[in-house]
Structure 1
Amino acid sequence: MPESHDVGRDAAPSFDLTTRPWVEVLRLDGTQDALSLREVFAQAARLRRLVGDLPTQEFALLRLLLAVAHDALEGPRDIEDWSDLWSDPECFAPVGAYLDAHRDRFDLLHTETPFFQTARLRTEKDEVFPLNRVVADVPNGEPFFSARLPTVERLSFAEAARWVVHAHAYDTSGIKTGVAGDDRVKGGKVYPLGVGWAGQLGGVFAEGRDLRETLLLNLVAADTTELTVRPGDLPAWRRPPNGPGGAERAPTGLRDLYTWQTRRLRLHHDADGVHGVVLGYGDPLSPRNQHVREPMTAWRRSPAQEKKLGASPIYLPREHDPARAAWRGLEALIADRSESSQGAEAAPYLRPRIFDWVARLATEGHLERGHLVRARTVGVVYGTQQSVVDEVVDDHVAMSVVLLHQRDRACAQQAMGAVRDADRAVLALGDLATNLARACGRDTEGPRATARDRAFGELERPYRLWLAGLTGHADPEEQRGHWRREVHCIVGRLGDLLIAEAGDTAWQGRTVELKKRTEWLNSALARLWFRRALDECLGHPHLPADQRPPGAEAAPAPTTS
């Protein structure tokens, strides 16, 4: 059956996103549903979260909802305004009238102002392209998390709407067919101008117990000093419709940034759905020093950019490493500026501004110390000059907001220190794997990497459980001691397994060249070094510091890597 009764062959085409179901959601009871924009806000307290065709789609749709909320509520103006919203079960009630007022701009098929599209966009040859230009799980015809092989022939209007939002956020770079009227076209093409804005970020947001909490936790007040908001900040649907091409400008604020039009796009459809697309570049946006505007990513200083441009500091988004679980990057989320800077020197890293905001809520008492949030991390790894999607990152770490408290840093210090404990213990295990491989006369890189990956995998669940319970204890430092003993036990056991697997060849050993001497290396010596390194970084698991056996406080064991 055709999806839309209001897309008839005689009637004006229409698919109203304010009233038609298109946003996929997960309810608190575990069932999945599709809702209109109006329904999402009306039912937010009964919804667990958004559900996207990809995790990146969820991130892009959340930012769209936040832009709607900021504009409909005209704020929050300050933290007191936010507190009123937090305590009001009907805080999103004004959104309904707002959507009515701007209904034409939320019509996916409107003839003059189609949602997030450019009316009458065309190429000089009037080409219409397959939908895998906008469906990220089929990058350039290659399968990726997809049941649609090898291409996408049709989309329902609901699916197409979600992918339109996603394309502006995460579309790949590369050479694109030029559209008529774009002065950047050379020889019928526009050369690479970068991926969609969210694709340049290591996306992060605070997730609450339900969608209502999630929206409010990420609804940053206009008086936040760390973010620049200029007068007249408007979302895309309250700006004049875009023509072909694009222009460089600075975002005016969060409403503008969350709906940034990085592409020019036009869907081709019939009464039953969407069958083609025209896609070109839109408004470019450099990530350089956008930390004063973009709250949903961590930032890193770029010495290379500072040297190139002769300016300092210059910050770029801190992208996610798909091989590094979110708990291992906790410090990037919770360390405040004073903990990552060195004196007057600008900090090498900045945590996401969204967690500066949650920190303010916790510090000023608008969130209880024990209130739990999940730090969700979402991002894309692009390949081949950013022209294809290689990997999608989606992870989370649950924590109490006390970890972000600006005047009570005890729990945060121990939580970050516990990650460093794990890193040092895993380094010791990697050295053991290296030494055992050399004792056998084998290559060292493979065994070292395998041992490290296995150890981090074994430590992930215990750390998450330990972190969840950290704030329930009066003495965080004592809990850190418990964590060190658990790490010592887990990594020590993995070390014993490595030694057993190395077998007789490693037990017999061989002569190897160390940095300053020659050594007869076998599994017994490798084990001695390993145990000494564990005791050095974690302490002996059973004895207080003043009763450790000889060597427990010695320098780290030599590595042969």
Structure 2
Amino acid sequence: MLPTESPGAGAGQARSFDLTSRPWIGVLRCNGSQDELSLRQVFAHAGKLRRIVGELPTQEFALIRLLLAVAHDALDGPGDIEEWAELWADPDCFAPVQAYLEEQRERFDLLHPLTPFLQTAGLRSARDEVFSLNRVVADVPAGEPFFSARMPDVERLTFAEAARWVVHVHAYDTSGIKTGMVGDGRVKGGKVYPFGTGWAGGLGGVFVEGKTLRETLLLNLVAADTERLEFSPDDRPAWRREPCGAGSDGRSATGPRDLYTWQSRRVRLHHDVDGVHGVVLGYGDPLVSRNMHRREPMTPWRRSPAQEKKLGQTPVYLPLEHEPARSAWRGIASLVADRSESGGSTEAASRLRPRILEWIARLVTEGPLPRRSLVRARVVGVTYGTQQSVINEVVDDRLPMPVVLLHREDPTYAQQAIGAAEDADRAVRALGDLAADLARTTGAEQEGPRSAARAEGFDALEHPYHGWLSDMVDEPDPFEHRHVWQRQVRERVGRLGDRLIAAVGDAAWEGRIHTDGKGGTHWLNAGLADVWFRGRLARALGDPGSPGPGSSGGGAAAPAGDGPSGPGPTGLPETDHAATDPEVHV
């Protein structure tokens, strides 16, 4: 079905594409089928939908934020936890959204001549250039079209596709020098110099997934009276503000509704009756991420000593972005606990968990959400390259999470979950040291084998950790559950070590003279490397049958000298091996 045409429009010129009634949002139904739905349909059938789907995980994150902005604004809340509990109990809780969308329908028209959805009418450069759609479609890597599903360029998009990418470009567009737009006072020599990525591009995005899209939206619908979050009375989404001009109005964000729809770019789609064939794209409203933790709930935060020194103020918090090589389970501490490294109660925390998880903690602690509930923490983000001018990698991971981990007054479960991840990290470090030691027995390069062994170790433990964490829902004793995990880690990592040792050749069993970093020498062979490995694994996890390290609540103590700074110059922990690692001295 083509968009309707206005009588006064030019031949073949599309007039309207109403996002409230036209299908454009990809969804996965609970029966496993996929579909595209309008905004009205998404809210009407949210209880029968599993989740939003997009061309990229980042598109899903941006669309979830858009839906949350609609829900917050349509419901004008929730104001407090009692209002939220009423919504949670009401299967038809999103009914008011239908009237709201009808009221705002004109601002949700993708092709409106004066107020096109999240665009700037009449936007143009001094040369009236119309650019390739590659500028808004993020799955076309710059300079690497052969790795794209669209080769080599995006020549045309359907209106539904274009709408999704308009939402995405405001959230995740790259930085770099952009063409200046007529009417933008920031233009110098026809260009606007870098103002950074889209707002969500600087976040370590986190949201909570429930069993259905309805649950997902409600779980992320933070009440206005939430402690440590600021909701301005003026907080409202982009479509309830005056249409943007070519330049920036220089204002600050007013709260979550504003941030969820922040207009970081100025966009204008060029289209005909068949779809979109070009785009004009420039910078919009820049936004500094510093100390926005009281308004942006969907990211963890870290203190920045460098910014504190530069600005002469403390604390200064910046978003804690995701590391692509580090799975969500390994960074569980940033999700479930605020941390203060000083140990003093007056010192500001060095890390803040996402306020969206602080909200879940409140739901658990104050009662509406049962302690034995299970949700999924979804982490989404991007890493940029070459001065943030290209997207290098997209981060997408899920972590099943018993909500008891977030209980404000009972940190025991969270402490054991964090400690279990630390158990795995120490055990995998021991496995990496074994691989390096085996390489050293033949004089081979060590870092490659060490990295490969560590990657294999974490891969082998990721699925078991997810299962162990999910099982915590029904565990009355988190300490004993932690011991179960330590036994699993010992067994699995031990088997990986056995495989490494079994794969070495005769030269490794014969060994060679090795000089350590302190001037001593000893004979190193595969047998000795095996003994060292077993000793390190025992110190990392405790002896079999013992209560295990860290049973009082925190993580186990690392072997002396084998802390965050890593191994010593020989690749071994800088400890006295005389008691545990027999050596043949030369």
Q: What TM-score comes out, normalization by structure 2 length?
A: 0.91
- Identify which of 235, 240, 257 aligns with 1:238: 240
Alpha-carbon contact 1:133-1:139 (below 8 Å) kept: no
Alpha-carbon contact 2:300-2:351 (below 8 Å) kept: yes
Aligned to 2:131: 129
Q: Secondary structure at the match of 2:114?
A: coil
- Identify which of 291, 294, 308 aligns with 2:293: 291
- CA distance in structure 2 between the partners assigned to 1:438 and 1:163 by the alignment: 51
Q: Deviations over 1:70-108 (max 9, x none)?
A: 000000001111111111111100000001111110000
Aligned to 1:191: 193
Residue 489 of structure 1: CA displacement? 0.7
Alpha-carbon contact 1:3-1:157 (below 8 Å) kept: no
Q: Secondary structure at the match of 1:292?
A: coil
Aligned to 2:261: 259
Q: Deviations over 1:202-238 (max 9, x none)?
A: 1000000000000000000011121111121111001
Q: Secondary structure at the match of 2:106?
A: helix
- CA distance in structure 1 between the partners assigned to 2:117 and 2:558 by the alignment: 65
Residue 145 of structure 1: CA displacement? 6.2
Q: Deviations over 1:273-301 (max 9, x none)?
A: 00000000000001111111111001111
C-alpha distance 452-144 of structure 1, shift in aligned 2 (>3 A): farther
Aligned to 1:539: 542
Residue 12 of structure 1: CA displacement? 6.8
Q: Secondary structure at the match of 1:502?
A: coil
C-alpha distance 488-10 of structure 1, shift in aligned 2 (>3 A): closer
Q: Secondary structure at the match of 2:387?
A: coil
Alpha-carbon contact 1:137-1:144 (below 8 Å) kept: no
- Identify which of 104, 107, 110 aligns with 1:105: 107
Residue 253 of structure 1: CA displacement? 0.9
C-alpha distance 302-144 of structure 1, shift in aligned 2 (>3 A): farther
Q: Deviations over 1:6-36 (max 9, x none)?
A: 5784787000000000001000000001000
- CA distance in structure 2 between the partners assigned to 1:263 and 1:444 by the alignment: 47
- CA distance in structure 2 between the partners assigned to 1:266 and 1:353 by the alignment: 34
Aligned to 1:268: 270
Residue 338 of structure 1: CA displacement? 6.3
Residue 181 of structure 1: CA displacement? 0.7
- CA distance in structure 2 between the partners assigned to 1:497 and 1:173 by the alignment: 46
- CA distance in structure 1 between the partners assigned to 2:160 and 2:447 by the alignment: 48
- CA distance in structure 1 between the partners assigned to 2:114 and 2:454 by the alignment: 56
Aligned to 2:228: 226
Alpha-carbon contact 2:338-2:352 (below 8 Å) kept: yes
2:3 pairs with 1:4: yes
Q: Secondary structure at the match of 1:412?
A: helix
Query: RMSD of the TM alignment (CA)?
Result: 2.0
Aligned to 1:211: 213
- CA distance in structure 2 between the partners assigned to 1:467 and 1:553 by the alignment: 22
Q: What TM-score comes out, normalization by structure 1 length?
A: 0.95
- CA distance in structure 2 between the partners assigned to 1:349 and 1:240 by the alignment: 37
Aligned to 1:166: 168
Q: Deviations over 1:430-482 (max 9, x none)?
A: 11111111121011110100000000000011111111101212111111111
Alignment of 1:475-554 (within 5 A): 475-516=477-518, 517-542=520-545
Q: Secondary structure at the match of 1:293?
A: coil
| Alignment coverage as a number of residue pairs | 555
Alignment of 1:102-501 (within 5 A): 102-140=104-142, 142-143=144-145, 146-337=148-339, 342-501=344-503
Residue 241 of structure 1: CA displacement? 0.5
Q: Deviations over 1:291-334 (max 9, x none)?
A: 11111001111112122222221111111111111111111101
Alpha-carbon contact 1:532-1:554 (below 8 Å) kept: no
Alpha-carbon contact 2:426-2:558 (below 8 Å) kept: no
Residue 542 of structure 1: CA displacement? 4.4
User: What letter matches 2:99 in structure 1?
Assistant: A
- CA distance in structure 1 between the partners assigned to 2:516 and 2:146 by the alignment: 46
User: What letter matches 1:537 in structure 2?
Assistant: A
Q: Secondary structure at the match of 1:15?
A: coil
- CA distance in structure 2 between the partners assigned to 1:504 and 1:450 by the alignment: 22
- CA distance in structure 1 between the partners assigned to 2:166 and 2:143 by the alignment: 18
C-alpha distance 223-554 of structure 1, shift in aligned 2 (>3 A): closer
Choose 4-13 or 372-381, whichever is displaced more: 4-13
Q: Deviations over 1:251-275 (max 9, x none)?
A: 1111111110000000000011000
Residue 515 of structure 1: CA displacement? 2.5
Residue 65 of structure 1: CA displacement? 0.4
- CA distance in structure 2 between the partners assigned to 1:545 and 1:317 by the alignment: 35
Q: Secondary structure at the match of 2:536?
A: helix
Q: Deviations over 1:381-406 (max 9, x none)?
A: 11111111111111000011111011
Alpha-carbon contact 1:499-1:523 (below 8 Å) kept: yes
Residue 196 of structure 1: CA displacement? 0.2
Q: Secondary structure at the match of 1:220?
A: coil
User: What letter matches 1:533 in structure 2?
Assistant: R
User: What letter matches 1:192 in structure 2?
Assistant: P
- CA distance in structure 2 between the partners assigned to 1:149 and 1:10 by the alignment: 27
Q: Deviations over 1:408-440 (max 9, x none)?
A: 222111111100000010111111111111121
- CA distance in structure 1 between the partners assigned to 2:108 and 2:540 by the alignment: 57
Alpha-carbon contact 2:120-2:244 (below 8 Å) kept: yes
Q: Secondary structure at the match of 2:58?
A: helix
User: What letter matches 1:121 in structure 2?
Assistant: L
C-alpha distance 151-455 of structure 1, shift in aligned 2 (>3 A): same
- CA distance in structure 2 between the partners assigned to 1:500 and 1:248 by the alignment: 64
Alpha-carbon contact 1:370-1:401 (below 8 Å) kept: yes
Alpha-carbon contact 2:22-2:37 (below 8 Å) kept: yes
Q: Deviations over 1:47-80 (max 9, x none)?
A: 0000011100000000000000000000000111
Choose 4-13 or 78-87, whichever is displaced more: 4-13
- CA distance in structure 2 between the partners assigned to 1:235 and 1:478 by the alignment: 48
User: What letter matches 2:3 in structure 1?
Assistant: S
Alpha-carbon contact 1:359-1:404 (below 8 Å) kept: yes
Percent identity of equivalent pairs: 66
C-alpha distance 340-355 of structure 1, shift in aligned 2 (>3 A): farther
Residue 347 of structure 1: CA displacement? 1.2
User: What letter matches 1:541 in structure 2?
Assistant: P
Alpha-carbon contact 1:3-1:156 (below 8 Å) kept: no
Alpha-carbon contact 2:428-2:493 (below 8 Å) kept: yes
Residue 41 of structure 1: CA displacement? 0.3
Aligned to 1:18: 20
- CA distance in structure 1 between the partners assigned to 2:88 and 2:559 by the alignment: 53
Choose 536-545 or 56-65, whichever is displaced more: 536-545
User: What letter matches 1:470 in structure 2?
Assistant: M
Q: Secondary structure at the match of 1:291?
A: coil
Alpha-carbon contact 2:372-2:402 (below 8 Å) kept: yes
Aligned to 1:549: none
